[in-house]
Structure 1
Amino acid sequence: MDICLCDISALEHVRSSGTLLPELLDRPRASRLEGCGVPGGVELDDLVVGLGLRTRPVHLLVPDGVSTHGRPGVARHRRRAALPRGSLIRVAPNVLVTGPELTLCQLAARGDYDLVDVAKLAFELCGTYLLDQDPNSWQGFVNNEVSATTVSRIGAAARSLKGSKGVARINSMLPYVLDSSHSPMETALAMLFVLPQKLGGIGLKGARMNYAISGTNRLMDLAFPGDRVGLEYKGKQYHAIEQSGRDDRRQNEIAGRGWTILNVWHEDLCDDNLFALLEDSLLRALGHRFRPSAAFYERQRLLRSRLVPGLRSFS
C-alpha cells in the first residue's frame, strides 16, 4: 500500500529536505492517488521513518472510496476531484507527498491559518530559504539555490483547484506575495510594506525581491524598480569591519546607477520609533502620500509583532 503525505506533514517533509530541496523537486511526479490508503500503525511507522515528520497526527491524502476508519495518530483527507498534473511527488517506493503548490492550498484551508500565515508561508515556498525544524538551529533556516515553487506556479495550481477549500484565500493573498526572498527577515520586511492596509501592511505596489540592478552584479533585497528605490536589510548591528566595507562598496556601486538606497537594521523593525522613521523615509523616497486611519497603526503593530522577533516599544 502507498501513502500520500499532505497538509502539515507534507510541509514538514519539504522543510526537512533542507539543502537537498533541488533533489526533492527533481523526483518523479504523479497526479493519481490509486493505491494510496491508510496502513496499520506498525506499517505506517515504517513508511514515515526518515521523512522528517515532527508532529502528529500524520496527515494522509486518500482517494474517494477508500476506507477511512479511525486509526490513532492519523488524520485522513479524502480527495474526490482529480488533482492537477504533477501535483504529487514520489519520495520513496511507497510514499507520495503533495507538491508545494497543493500543500499550500491545503494549509490555507486550515482553521488555524489566517491570511497572514498563508502569505508568510507563500513567501517562504517562493523564496530560496526553508525554515529549519531543528530546535537547535543557529539561524533558524537553510538556503537553497532554487525555490520550492513560484508565485506563477501557485496561481496555476489555484486555477486548477478552483472550488477547493483554501483556494479563495490563496487567490486573495497571491497578489501580495513576491518571489525570491532569501530569509525570514527579508520576508518580514517585504510583508510590512506590500501587504494590504487591512492586514497592517502599507500596500505599496511594484516591489521586487532580490532584484538585479542593471549594469552590476548586485541584488537589491527589496526594490521598487519603477522609482529606483531600494531597501537593503543589514541584520543586527554587529557586522565585522570587513563585511561593513564590502556592504558600503556594494551600496556605492548601486547608488552610482541612480538608485536611492535605504539601509534597514533589525533594530529598525523591532523599535516603534525607528520603524516609523524608516516608513517615513521610504514613503518620501517613493513620493507616496499615506494618510491611514488611527486604527491602521494598531493593525500594523499587530502585524509587526507576528513577523519580527524582539518587537519592543519606547513610546
Structure 2
Amino acid sequence: MLLTVNRMSALRALRRERSENGRLTGARTDLAAPDPTPRKRWTAGIIPKGPLAIDAPPSRDRPLDIVVPQARLRPRAAFFRSSVHGGDIPPGSYVSLGEEVASVGPELLFLELAGVMHPIVHALVGYELCGTYARDPRSPRTGSVTFGVEPATTKARIAEFLDGCPGLRGVDQARRTLAHVADNAWSPTEALLALLVRLPVTELGFGAGPVTLNVRHETTAELLQRGVRASRVPDIEVDGTPMGFNYDGYGHFDLASIARAESAEERMGAMRSVREKYLDDLRRNRELTARGKIILPVIADDLFADGGLDTVMLEAALACEELCGQSLGDVRLALASPLLARKRQELIWSLLPWEPGTRYARAMAARQEAREGTPEDVLLLGDEFVTVEEVSLAGD
C-alpha cells in the first residue's frame, strides 16, 4: 500500500512522529501515486492508524486528507479528501512515515495550511514546526506537550521552499505569516507570547518588533571567577533593544511536590528544590542584567488575567523608555485603545491551553461570520486547529 497524507492529516501525523521519536525519522522523498496493493481496492480498514495518529478508520464524516500527483489518480473512496500536487512542487518535499505511508514535509505543509488556517494559528504552527516541542496529535489544545524534540524545519528552510515555488496558491499568504515566526521556541505558550510581542497592532499584537528566542549568553570571565553559572538563556529578546521576557508557567516551581510528600524528610527535600529554583531565577535575572539585558518574567497568571499581559507590556515599554531612552516599537499604540485591548485579551484566551478557550474561539468565529457573512477568519475549534473548510461542520 502507498498513501501520502497532507494538510490537517499531515499535521497530525508529523506531531505523532515528533512526539514519539523526538524528530522526523523518515527520509525525504517525492510524491508517489496512491496504491492499495496487495488489496485490489481501497477500504477504510486497510489504513494504518498508528503512523496517522487516528483511533478509528477514516470515514465520510472524518475523512483522511491525502494528496495525489494527478487528478485521474484520486481514489474514489468517500473516506478520502484528496488534493492534487503537480510537477511544480520542489523535489524531496515529502517525508516517509513508515508502514508505506508518507506525508507532505513541514515546508510544504506550512504552505498548504496558509490558505485554510487563520494567520495567527498558522503562525503558531510555524513556531511549532521550527521549535523544540510537539503538541499532542489527538488533542493539540489541552493534551500533553512533548518537549526537547528536534525542530522539523527552520524559518530559513521554509522561506527557501516558498521561493522555489512562487506560482503556487498560498505562497504570498505563507510569506506574510512566516514573517512573524521565529526559530527555536521551547513551548507552545512561549511561542504564543513571542507571537503576541511580535505581531503588529493591526493584528492584535503589541508591535514591539522582531524577536529572537532562546539564545545563550555567555558569562564574563570576571563573574565566572566568582562561581557564577557559565551562561544564561532568556526565552524571548526583542531585537534591537535590551528588553526581553522569560515565561514561567504553573509548573515552573514544583509546589505540588511539597503537597505530595509523604514524610517530613521528603517535604523538606521538596521545599529545598523549590527554593533552589527560586534563587536560581533571581540570580539569572541579575546575571542577564549584568550583560545589559532587561528580562522581565511573565507568569501564566499574566496571560489568563484580564489585561494581565497588557500590564507586563506597559512595564516593558516604561523600562525601555526610562533605562534606554528608546520606545519599544508600537507597544504604546497597542495599549492606547480599550477596544483593541478587549479583542486582544479574547484572542489570548482563545489560544491558551484550557477548555474555555474553545468557547472564546467559537464566539470569535460567530462574530466574524455575523459581521462578514462568511466564516473566513476562524481560530481554534474544539480540540483541533480549525481550517476554513471545516467551519461548516461547526454547527454544534
Fold match, TM over 0.5?
yes
Alignment of 1:265-284 (within 5 A): 265-284=299-318
Aligned residues: 306
1:243 has 2:244 as partner: no
Match of 1:12 in 2: 12
Matched residues in 2 for 1:21 and 1:141: separation? 12
Matched residues in 2 for 1:237 and 1:53: separation? 27
Match of 1:304 in 2: 348
Q: Which residue of the other structure, out of 294, 300, 304, is the alignment partner of 1:260?
A: 294
Shift of 1:250: 2.2
Shift of 1:155: 0.9
Which amino acid counterpart does residue 233 of structure 1 have in structure 2? Answer: Y
Matched residues in 2 for 1:38 and 1:187: separation? 40
1:29 has 2:28 as partner: yes
Matched residues in 2 for 1:120 and 1:138: separation? 15
Matched residues in 1 for 2:311 and 2:141: separation? 33
Kept in 1, the 8 Å contact 2:180–2:210? The answer is no
Kept in 2, the 8 Å contact 1:191–1:201? The answer is yes
Per the alignment, do residues 192 and 38 of structure 1 end up closer, same or farther by CA in structure 2, a change over 3 Å counting? farther
SS in 2 for 1:118: helix
Which amino acid counterpart does residue 28 of structure 1 have in structure 2? Answer: A
**172-181 or 67-76: which moved more?**
67-76
Alignment of 1:187-226 (within 5 A): 187-215=191-219, 216-226=230-240
Give the TM-score taking structure 2 as reference length.
Answer: 0.70
Q: Deviations over 1:61-97 (max 9, x none)?
A: 1011433253121111112233212211122263221
Per the alignment, do residues 188 and 257 of structure 1 end up closer, same or farther by CA in structure 2, a change over 3 Å counting? same
Kept in 2, the 8 Å contact 1:124–1:181? The answer is yes
Matched residues in 1 for 2:133 and 2:33: separation? 33
Match of 2:42 in 1: 41
Kept in 2, the 8 Å contact 1:84–1:160? The answer is yes
Shift of 1:309: 4.4
Which structure has greater strand proportion? 1
Which amino acid counterpart does residue 261 of structure 1 have in structure 2? Answer: I
Kept in 2, the 8 Å contact 1:229–1:260? The answer is yes
Match of 2:152 in 1: 148
Among all aligned residue pairs of Structure 1 and Structure 2, give the percentage whose two residues are the same amino acid.
Answer: 25
Per the alignment, do residues 237 and 128 of structure 1 end up closer, same or farther by CA in structure 2, a change over 3 Å counting? closer
Match of 2:333 in 1: 291
Matched residues in 1 for 2:121 and 2:307: separation? 26
SS in 2 for 1:223: strand
Shift of 1:117: 1.3
Which amino acid counterpart does residue 35 of structure 1 have in structure 2? Answer: A
Shift of 1:136: 11
**62-71 or 272-281: which moved more?**
62-71
Give the TM-score taking structure 1 as reference length.
Answer: 0.87
Kept in 2, the 8 Å contact 1:179–1:209? The answer is yes
Kept in 1, the 8 Å contact 2:130–2:153? The answer is yes
Per the alignment, do residues 246 and 171 of structure 1 end up closer, same or farther by CA in structure 2, a change over 3 Å counting? same
**232-241 or 157-166: which moved more?**
232-241
Matched residues in 2 for 1:38 and 1:115: separation? 36
Per the alignment, do residues 285 and 207 of structure 1 end up closer, same or farther by CA in structure 2, a change over 3 Å counting? farther
Q: Deviations over 1:269-291 (max 9, x none)?
A: 11124323201011123332622
Gaps of 5+ in 2: 220-229, 254-273, 322-326, 358-396
Matched residues in 2 for 1:184 and 1:136: separation? 10
Match of 2:128 in 1: 124
Matched residues in 1 for 2:307 and 2:33: separation? 58
Per the alignment, do residues 231 and 241 of structure 1 end up closer, same or farther by CA in structure 2, a change over 3 Å counting? same
Match of 2:51 in 1: 51
